[in-house]
Amino acid sequence: MISRLSVILLAVGLAFGSAAAQTDSRATVLPLTTKSAKARRLVDQAWDLAVDQVEQVKGIKVLRKAVKADPNFAMGHEILAQMSLDPSEQVGEQRKAFATKRHASVTEQTIVDWFQDAAEHKLIPAITNMNDVLGKYPHDRWVVYLASNWLTQQTQFDRAAAVYEHSGIADSPGLMNNTAYSYAYMRQFDKAFALMDKYVVALPKDANPQDSYAEILRMAGHFDEAIEHYNAALAINPEFYSSQFGIADTYSLVGDQVRARQEYELAFRKFPLPALHRIEWKTREAITYIRDGDLKAADTAFQAIADYAHANGMSQVEADTYRQMAMCQIHSQQALLYLSKAETAIHEGNNVMPGAVQQEFAQILRARVELAIKTDDEQIADATLAQLAELSGNSDDKLIEAAYHGAAGALLFSQHDYEHAALHLEEDIHNPLSLKLLAAAYQKTGNTVDGKRTGEVLANLNDPTLEQAMIVPAFRRCIQNPSCDSGFTNASFKR
């Protein structure tokens, strides 16, 4: 670990001389404005639980007590909005943070504005507000936590890691954990493992370091070691459900879907879960059927999730589930039906931030474009892409933009305009669907170096997502088969 002073010097740069002095003058801790000493104490407790021990559910309960103790505690509401696992609570607490910000300090008001801007897709003010706060309090744990989390959501993994490295905070296991994930997302596994080693040492009796280590090992393709670390986590804390599900996810990724489903079922029987976690792993379980090529069973599993989401007023989850079902369909009419259901659900908009409605709608439009490409309906593809372009043009949301570029790239690829397709697909490199096309587009334009590199990245993706399940195993099989021309045939499904 580099020293605190070195970190500070690195953080500010040396070009204009006065930087080090400026850093020293900056306060370390952002004072939290509340009239209630109890509320302040509870927020400290929430940090220990939710961030450092990754006991999110317990931490959130404590935060609820904090804002109950002082309903005008704007930062309490904002932190709860950012930590909550319940979409309706996320929306409600953001509203409360904004409504009560007059009771907060100027810097706290800037934090609330930052997240309000982000929720309203006003990216430039959100960024400037974040940097304003980071400039004043680069060493404050809540500021560092909120900034690195938000930057991660923005796919700015290098910046998220830099915020931590520059903070000089060396004693927060939770921040080590989050930063290790940022490095892992950048596939800088050496740095991720180095942080994980420190994290394990910092909390030797805690299950989460072993669980995180396992997940990052899995991302790097070290499946056996991942399972060892998941088991180590469960040995420390048999109630640590994430590790039980992690074992299931890992078996799914290595291709043992029967064992994966056994592990999922075991976990669902053993552990009561928060709604979003339950949905997350129910979705993973449904994906095992996709990996098996058993679309009928996948439909049944996904439908149960959609029904659960509908019954519980979770419109985005319902919409996203129907969209995923549509993506897996062989028959276009069935896919269209699911996409219509997805649209109906998202327009109901129960417990969804306005920005999230647009994000989901963009994903649905993208799925419609891809379906139109499959059915050679260029007119529908063009019209839907135009709709998506308009949505993207009126927003500065990265997910919406990525959806547009992914769809535009796919359409141009289908029209054999590989050069322009690549330009769009490069803006959506987090999605295996686009990555597959991008690798092919590079190859077809003679850019074999980037084609090979992109193909390698795609082949080494180990995330238990639907897109990975649909694309990566088939891609791996294909690149190992000399008779497979491009490697870009879709997995076959049976009914």
Residues 41-70 that bind another protein (CB under 8 A): 50, 54, 56
Question: d(Cα 84, Cα 278) in Å, to the nearest integer?
Answer: 15
Taking alpha carbons only, the member of 377, 431, 380, 379 closest to residue 409 is 431
Nearer to another protein, 125 or 293 (CB): 125
Question: Of the candidates 379, 366, 357, 356, which has an alpha carbon nearest to the alpha carbon of residue 326?
Answer: 366
Residue showing tokens 């690798």: 439
The minimum distance between CB 1 and another protein, in angstroms, equals 22
Q: How far apart are CA 51 and CA 53, in angstroms?
A: 6
Count CA within 13 A, CB hemisphere, residue 189.
Answer: 12
**Position 9 contacts another protein (CB under 8 A):** no
Query: What is the rounded distance in angstroms from the CA atom of residue 344 to the CA atom of residue 336?
Result: 12
Choose, by CB under 8 A, the member of 72, 94, 107, 154 that binds another protein: 154
Piece in contact with another protein (CB under 8 A), picked from 13-21, 29-37, 364-372, 485-493 = 13-21
Nearest to another protein of 78, 215 (CB atom): 215
Figure out which of the listed residues 26, 41, 58, 277 binds another protein, where binding follows CB under 8 A: 277
Q: Is 465 in the site for another protein (CB under 8 A)?
A: yes
- The conformation of residue 163, written as its DSSP 8-state character, comes to H
> Which residue of 48, 89, 132, 225 would you call a contact of another protein, by CB under 8 A?
132
Amino acid of residue 23:
T
Q: Answer yes or no whether residue 288 interacts with another protein by CB under 8 A.
A: no
Show contacts with another protein in window 314-373 (CB under 8 A).
none
- State which H helix or E strand residue 417 sits in: none
Give the footprint of another protein on residues 69-108 (CB under 8 A): 82-83, 85
Q: Is 452 in the site for another protein (CB under 8 A)?
A: no
Nearest distance in Å: CB 229, another protein:
12
Nearer to another protein, 70 or 206 (CB): 206
Applying CB under 8 A, does 402 fall inside the site for another protein? Answer: yes
Rule CB under 8 A: choose which of 1, 16, 272, 446 binds another protein: 16
Minimum distance, C-beta of residue 333 to another protein, in the bound complex (Å): 26
To the nearest whole angstrom, how small is the minimum distance from the Cβ of residue 495 to another protein?
26
Q: Is residue 146 within 8 Å of residue 82, measured between CB atoms? A: yes
Residue among 462, 174, 413 nearest 405 (CA): 413
Between 69 and 233, name the residue whose CB sits nearer to another protein.
233
- 179 makes contact with another protein (CB under 8 A): no
Rounded least distance, CB 218 to another protein, Å: 11
Q: How far is residue 306's CA from residue 279's CA, in Å, rounded to a whole number?
A: 9
Contact criterion met (CB below 8 Å) for 320 and 342: yes
Q: Is 181 in the site for another protein (CB under 8 A)?
A: yes
Stretch that binds another protein, among 30-38, 64-72, 379-387, 397-405 (CB under 8 A): 397-405
**By the rule CB under 8 A, 14 interacts with another protein:** yes
Are 41 and 62 within 8 A, CB to CB? no
Nearest-approach distance from CB 248 to another protein, in angstroms: 14
For the record, the structure tokens of 212 come out as 């995180």
* Position among 89, 225, 256, 280 found at the interface with another protein (CB under 8 A): 280
Q: Largest Cα–Cα distance in the chain?
A: 71
Q: Tell me the angle at which helices 241-254 and 257-270 cross, rounded to the nearest 10 degrees.
A: 170
Q: Does 109 bind another protein (CB under 8 A)?
A: no
CA nearest to 391, candidates 405, 407, 404: 404
In the list 23, 109, 242, 288, the residue contacting another protein (rule: CB under 8 A) is: 242
Count how many Cα atoms sit within 13 Å of the Cα of residue 391 in the half-sphere of its side chain.
28
The answer to whether residue 219 forms part of the interface with another protein (CB under 8 A) is: yes
Residue number, 128 or 375, with CB nearest to another protein: 128
Q: What is d(CA 230, CA 247) in angstroms, rounded to the nearest whole number?
A: 6
- Say whether residue 153 binds another protein (CB under 8 A): yes
Contacting another protein (CB under 8 A), which of 31, 135, 238, 354? Answer: 135
One of 109, 401, 441, 443 touching another protein (CB under 8 A): 401
Single residue of 249, 431, 436, 440 touching another protein by CB under 8 A: 431
Which helix (H) or strand (E) segment holds residue 34: the answer is none
The stretch near another protein (CB under 8 A) out of 27-35, 252-260, 275-283, 333-341 is 275-283
Count of chain residues binding another protein (CB under 8 A): 74
When binding is defined by CB under 8 A, the residue of 70, 78, 93, 215 that contacts another protein is 215
Per CB under 8 A, the segment of 91-99, 209-217, 257-265, 476-484 that binds another protein is 209-217
Q: Which is nearer to another protein, 13 or 482 (CB)?
A: 13
Give the Å distances, CA to CA, from 263 to 268, 281, 286, 369.
9, 11, 13, 36
Query: Strand, helix or coil at 70?
Result: coil
Of the two residues 67 and 146, which places its CB atom closer to another protein in the complex?
146
Neighbouring residues of 52: CB distance < 8 A, sequence distance ≥ 6: 172, 173, 174, 203
- In degrees rounded to 5, what are phi and psi of residue 127? -65, -45
Q: How many CB atoms lie within 10 A of CB 228?
A: 15
- Options 99, 127, 266, 479; binder of another protein; rule CB under 8 A: 127
Tokens 């795609």 sit on residue: 458
Angle, CA 32 vertex, CA 28 and CA 35 arms, to 5°: 145
